[in-house]
């Protein structure tokens, strides 16, 4: 019996493993990666398929194969595949060390959370599979724990493993390990010890770690037991990982979180000094890890004979889609007339620009979020909006928009692309790049169809996986409504279901979602049921949970979906090739 038969692993999905991310990053490095919508994907160590099944549901014309050596997890996953009716995914009970190639070749291979948790020679076998099973332009995703960050984490791990050495029962092991860290936090804070080394740093480290393990999400013991306390946990330095990949005929492409593999997010002077110290491209990443004390990487690999572009060709961006939720603010210290705007992402990353088309394009992207737009759409929208706000520039903007002034149009396109790339290289939170337009729509169709996976998840937990594979928190109303969005019910039908539901669960629709602020004199009318439904549908649509494409067999059957396709934006109906 494997440790994962005893305690199955977490059960999450990971947006960075989506083939769209792998394909997009590969294109930036000049690899003609396989089209996302019809690709073949292998996941090694897929557990119960909580990553692979939603991916398969989001790309019905692609094929997905998962392998895992824990029979209990594969059985659970096969049960889910049967229950949800997912024809394009197969899960196999297989030890990766026994791989014989019978499952064929794959455009994308995903190995998340496994490389560091298996011993040699299994680590080597994993890379051998990547080499043998990748198609010529295929891309493998391998995540792993890294030094130097893990040196600090290792101190915690080894103390905990010592403390629980005599305990076998998993729940007791997790509890005792937490207890030890809790004790150390209190003990180091209580007194100053004569023999302490680096006492302030140690106390800070213990506190941060304790906070982290207390705030782990659902099925926390499972994550804690496997991620921190599993028998094997072998972090490595980035340069060691590159050398290991090289031994197996594989080359580093980039990190899935593209910007995190580059020194672009560092202050200019730091980045310049770092680059001067590095003796090769790979070395830049290594010194970057030294600077940020990195603990984890999500690296993409390809076969070593693939020719990678030394620099990113801006023309690649003509084939991509972009999404941004960054907030635009007047850049500190700038003259408002000069209109230099600072765009700030949720993670604090910033892009400052005074290029009007870029400023309006980013504003447009925020307004359509989470929908994605092409470069051409963003540029066109920028011209249209600039014409409205600057009537005196109407003629020249119109000439650029229509192509009557091709030089201006090309120069604006180049500057917009360069700014988008600079933002993406700083943080994927500022702007995300996509080869695929996304399987979701933000439009609320007559009979909305929500992601089958999220509908199933909503009955189990308060956060669900959206069609981009991100986690989304649901309101109680959203959690009630989501499972009903199976493409057969319009707003009236949804209302009838709620009205006929005498159970406790339906009580949320009878109490207003929020009370008027204290001290407010006017009586606000309680929203009607129809208004509450409309508001909840909008929240669900803006969370990328509504299916946006025809599904063979379903789109003909559900007239509401078919009839609304005419209103789909041009860019979403025709993905660029």
Ligand X SMILES: C[S@@+](CC[C@H](N)C(=O)[O-])C[C@H]1O[C@@H](n2cnc3c(N)ncnc32)[C@H](O)[C@@H]1O
Using CB under 6 A as the binding rule, whether residue 78 contacts ligand X is answered as: no
Contact yes or no for 45/96 (Cβ under 8 A): yes
Exactly one of 33, 73, 353, 532 binds ligand X (CB under 6 A); which one? 73
Say how far apart CA 575 and CA 555 lie, in whole Å: 19
Q: Residue 20 or residue 68: which is nearer to ligand X going by CB?
A: 68
E strand or H helix at 296: strand 296-303
Using CB under 6 A as the binding rule, whether residue 234 contacts ligand X is answered as: no
Exactly one of 2, 172, 247, 367 binds ligand X (CB under 6 A); which one? 2
Find out whether the peptide bond into 473 is cis, omega within 30 degrees of 0: no
Applying CB under 6 A, which part among 6-14, 55-63, 161-169, 482-490 lies near ligand X? 6-14
Applying CB under 6 A, which part among 1-9, 164-172, 293-301, 403-411 lies near ligand X? 1-9
Which region holds residue 14: left if phi is over 0, alpha if psi is between -120 and 50, else beta? beta
Using CB under 6 A as the binding rule, whether residue 7 contacts ligand X is answered as: no
Q: Residue 113 CB, nearest distance to ligand X (Å)? A: 3
Q: Residue 456 CB, nearest distance to ligand X (Å)? A: 17
Residues whose CB falls within 8 Å of the CB of residue 281, separated by 6 or more in sequence, listed in order: none
Q: Residue 268 CB, nearest distance to ligand X (Å)? A: 36
Q: Residue 109 CB, nearest distance to ligand X (Å)? A: 12
Q: Residue 574 CB, nearest distance to ligand X (Å)? A: 34
What's the longest Cα–Cα distance across the chain? 80
Say how far apart CA 550 and CA 86 lie, in whole Å: 16
Contact yes or no for 263/216 (Cβ under 8 A): no
Exactly one of 25, 40, 64, 68 binds ligand X (CB under 6 A); which one? 68
Q: Residue 9 or residue 147: which is nearer to ligand X going by CB?
A: 9
Site for ligand X in 455-514 (CB under 6 A): none
Using CB under 6 A as the binding rule, whether residue 218 contacts ligand X is answered as: no
Number of helices (H) and strands (E), helices first, in the chain?
23, 15
Q: Residue 73 or residue 264: which is nearer to ligand X going by CB?
A: 73
Cα 446 vs. chain centroid, distance in angstroms?
29
How are strands ordered across the β-sheet holding 341-344? 327-330, 341-344, 350-353
Using CB under 6 A as the binding rule, whether residue 18 contacts ligand X is answered as: no
Site for ligand X in 88-127 (CB under 6 A): 95-97, 112-114, 117-118, 122
Residues whose CB falls within 8 Å of the CB of residue 425, separated by 6 or more in sequence, listed in order: 258, 259, 262, 264, 265
Site for ligand X in 39-58 (CB under 6 A): 45, 47
Q: Residue 77 or residue 478: which is nearer to ligand X going by CB?
A: 77
Q: Which residue minimizes CB distance to ligand X?
A: 45
Question: Could you give the angle at the alpha carbon of 390 between the alpha carbons of 387 and 392, nearest 5°?
Answer: 100
Q: How many CB atoms lie within 10 A of CB 541?
A: 22
Q: Residue 223 CB, nearest distance to ligand X (Å)? A: 8
Q: Residue 521 CB, nearest distance to ligand X (Å)? A: 52
Residues whose CB falls within 8 Å of the CB of residue 82, separated by 6 or more in sequence, listed in order: none
Please tell me what DSSP assigns to residue 228. I
Q: Residue 290 or residue 296: which is nearer to ligand X going by CB?
A: 296
Q: Residue 12 CB, nearest distance to ligand X (Å)? A: 5
Q: Residue 70 CB, nearest distance to ligand X (Å)? A: 4
The residue count for binding ligand X (CB under 6 A) is 22
Applying CB under 6 A, which part among 66-74, 297-305, 360-368, 432-440 lies near ligand X? 66-74
Q: Residue 123 or residue 294: which is nearer to ligand X going by CB?
A: 123
Torsions phi, psi of 15, nearest 5? -55, -35
Query: Got the DSSP string for 334-390?
Result: --GGG--EEEE-TTS-EEEE--HHHHHHHHHHHHHTTS-EEHHHHHHHHHHHHHHH-
Q: Residue 56 CB, nearest distance to ligand X (Å)? A: 15
Q: Residue 226 or residue 434: which is nearer to ligand X going by CB?
A: 226
Considering only CA atoms, which of 240, 259, 179 is closest in space to residue 423? 259
**Residues lying near ligand X in the complex (CB under 6 A):** 2, 4, 9-10, 12, 45, 47, 67-70, 73, 95-97, 112-114, 117-118, 122, 226
């Amino acid at each position: 019996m494997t440790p994962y038969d005893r305690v199955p692993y977490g059960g999450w999905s990971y947006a960075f493993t989506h083939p769209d991310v792998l394909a997009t990053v590969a294109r930036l490095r000049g690899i003609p990666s396989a089209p996302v919508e019809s690709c073949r994907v292998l996941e090694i160590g897929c557990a119960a398929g909580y990553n692979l099944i939603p991916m398969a549901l989001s790309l019905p014309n692609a094929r997905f194969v998962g392998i895992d050596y824990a029979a209990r997890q594969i059985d659970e996953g096969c049960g889910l595949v049967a229950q949800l009716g997912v024809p394009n995914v197969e899960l196999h009970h297989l030890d990766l060390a026994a791989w014989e190639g019978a499952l064929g070749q794959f455009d994308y291979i995903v190995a998340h959370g496994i490389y560091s948790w298996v011993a040699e020679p299994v680590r080597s076998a994993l890379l051998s599979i990547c080499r043998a099973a990748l198609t010529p332009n295929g891309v493998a995703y391998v995540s792993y724990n890294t030094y130097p960050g893990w040196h600090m984490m290792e101190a915690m791990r080894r103390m905990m493993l010592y403390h629980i050495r005599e305990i076998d029962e998993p729940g007791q092991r997790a509890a005792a390990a937490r207890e030890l860290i809790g004790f150390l936090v209190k003990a180091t804070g209580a007194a100053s010890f004569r023999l302490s080394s680096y006492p302030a740093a140690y106390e800070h480290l213990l506190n941060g770690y304790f906070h982290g393990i207390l705030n782990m999400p659902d099925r926390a013991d499972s994550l804690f037991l496997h991620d921190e306390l599993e028998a094997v946990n072998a972090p490595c330095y980035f340069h060691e990982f590159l050398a290991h990949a090289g031994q197996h005929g594989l080359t580093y492409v980039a990190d899935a979180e593209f910007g995190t593999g580059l020194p672009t997010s560092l202050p200019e002077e730091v980045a310049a000094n770092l680059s001067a110290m590095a003796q090769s491209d790979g070395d830049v990443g290594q010194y970057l890890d030294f600077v940020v004390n990195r603990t984890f990487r999500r690296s993409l690999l390809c076969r070593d004979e693939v020719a990678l572009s030394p620099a990113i060709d801006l023309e690649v961006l003509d084939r991509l889609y972009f999404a941004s939720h960054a907030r635009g603010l007047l850049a500190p210290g700038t003259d408002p007339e000069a209109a230099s705007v600072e765009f700030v992402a949720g993670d604090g990353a910033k892009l400052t620009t005074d290029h009007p088309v870029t400023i309006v394009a980013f504003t447009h992207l925020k307004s359509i979020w989470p929908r994605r737009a092409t470069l051409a759409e963003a540029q066109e929208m920028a011209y249209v909006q600039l014409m409205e706000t600057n009537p005196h520039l109407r003629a020249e903007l119109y000439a650029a928009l229509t192509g009557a002034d091709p030089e201006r149009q090309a120069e604006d396109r180049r500057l917009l692309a360069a700014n988008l790339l600079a933002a993406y290289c700083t943080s994927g939170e500022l702007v995300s790049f996509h080869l695929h337009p996304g399987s979701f729509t933000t439009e609320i169709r007559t009979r909305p169809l929500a992601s089958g996976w999220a509908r199933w998840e909503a009955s189990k937990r308060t956060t669900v996986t959206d069609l981009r594979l991100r986690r989304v928190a649901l309101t109680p109303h959203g959690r009630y409504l989501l499972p009903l969005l199976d493409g057969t019910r319009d707003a009236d039908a949804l209302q009838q279901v709620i009205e006929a539901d005498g159970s406790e669960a339906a009580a949320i629709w009878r109490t207003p979602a929020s009370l008027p602020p204290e001290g407010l004199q006017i009586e606000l009318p309680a929203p009607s049921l129809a208004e509450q439904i409309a508001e909840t549908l909008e929240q669900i649509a803006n969370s990328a949970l509504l299916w946006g494409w025809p599904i063979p067999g379903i789109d003909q059957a559900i007239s509401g979906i078919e009839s609304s396709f005419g209103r789909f934006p041009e860019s979403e109906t025709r993905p660029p090739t």
